A = this chain, B = another copy of it.
Amino acid sequence: MKLLEEHIIKYGTALNNEVLKVDSFINHQIDPNLMMKLAKDIQDYFKEKEITKIVTIETSGIAPSVFLGYLLNVPVVYLKKNSSKIIGTNCYQTVIHSFTKDVDYLITCDKKYIKESDKVLFVDDFMANGEACLGAIDILKQANASIEGIAIIIEKAFQSGRQKVEALGYDIYSLARIASLENGNITFTE
């Protein structure tokens, strides 16, 4: 998506060969108008699917997800990164590893909020090694929900996430695909 690529070039920073900082418009400060446009683009790509629920992971997947949920008129569920004493024990859970922060997260979802009848679109801000996405797939499979597709705002195409997730048969739509961050230069795949 041209507009997003322009934002990434203008406001993003390659911190090193693997980390792209976009916290001026996605994951610290959020540009809500951009988020609505990203959501419309995702809606258009998956327009043939009858989505009943958007699923994301806290925190930075929430902004694009709620606009998409608004456009599609469906609920949004965010998987929680830490169990809370309020959430109760009746939940699906799995462990994912964040390479960016080098920590393991327990992600959880109350069983009430994902049903076997749900046709889910999973949305996240980044895909790198695919850990978060594979964790979400694990949770959605535990719930026997149907996974209709995966929408990613920024894919690091030089890492292995897409390969792993496509191997499971899922359709991934990435709004921007980074080819390389080497030497501080941000380039996109065609």
Task: Please give the residue numbers on chain A whose beta carbons come within 8 Å of chain B beta carbons, in ascending order.
Answer: 15, 19, 21, 23-25, 28-33, 35-36, 58-59, 62-63, 65-67, 69-70, 73-78, 80, 84-87, 100-101, 109-110, 112-113
Contact = CB atoms under 8 A, between A and B. Distances in A.
In the A-B complex, the 9 residue pairs with the closest CB atoms: A32-B69, A32-B70, A30-B76, A29-B113, A58-B59, A32-B66, A63-B66, A29-B77, A62-B62
Given A75-B30, A110-B28, A36 B86 contact: no
A151 to B, nearest CB: 15
Given A19-B86, A23-B86, 18 more contacts: A15-B86, A21-B86, A23-B110, A28-B78, A28-B80, A28-B110, A28-B113, A29-B77, A29-B113, A30-B78, A31-B75, A32-B70, A32-B73, A33-B70, A33-B73, A66-B66, A67-B70, A86-B101
27 contacts: A15-B86, A23-B86, A24-B112, A28-B77, A28-B78, A28-B80, A28-B87, A28-B110, A28-B113, A30-B69, A30-B75, A30-B78, A32-B67, A32-B74, A32-B75, A33-B70, A36-B70, A58-B58, A58-B59, A59-B62, A62-B62, A62-B63, A62-B66, A66-B66, A66-B67, A85-B101, A86-B101
A156 to B, nearest CB: 14
Total copies of the chain = 2
Contacts of A109: 28
